Amino acid sequence: MNSNASGNLEFSVLISVARLGDKAYGAEVRRDVAQRARKDYSVGAIYATLQRLEDKGLLSSSDTEPTPVRGGRSRRCFALTVPGRQAVRSGVATRRRLWEGVDLVLQRR
């Protein structure tokens, strides 16, 4: 099992779940990722990613009580697992390392 958030969207969704905390459910994650990435992701793309991250063991989920505004359906809330937190830390560290020195190069041109 691949336990890393390998794709760009996977990583974006993972840090969005970390940021949103208790409010991390599909629609809210989609809004957050779309706002920050400035790209309109579909509900299907976000849920497919959430499910993949859960399969990898990086997220856990729990269902809330059904509500009338959702047609009597429940919300599925997501939270980072311990490997999920490690994946966020490792992903951030990798991206920082990749950025090292780039600012100087960009300023020169």
Interface residue list for other proteins (CB under 8 A): 25-27, 30, 42-45, 47-49, 51-52, 61, 63, 67, 69-71, 73-76
* Closer residue to other proteins in complex, CB, 69/98: 69
Distance CA 76, CA 69 (A): 15
| Shortest CB 16 distance to other proteins, Å | 15
| Shortest CB 34 distance to other proteins, Å | 12
Distance CA 14, CA 20 (A): 10
In three-state form (DSSP H/G/I as H, E/B as E, the rest C), the secondary structure along 45-83 is HHHHHHHHHHHCCCEEEEECCCEHHHCCECCEEEEECHH
| Shortest CB 104 distance to other proteins, Å | 39
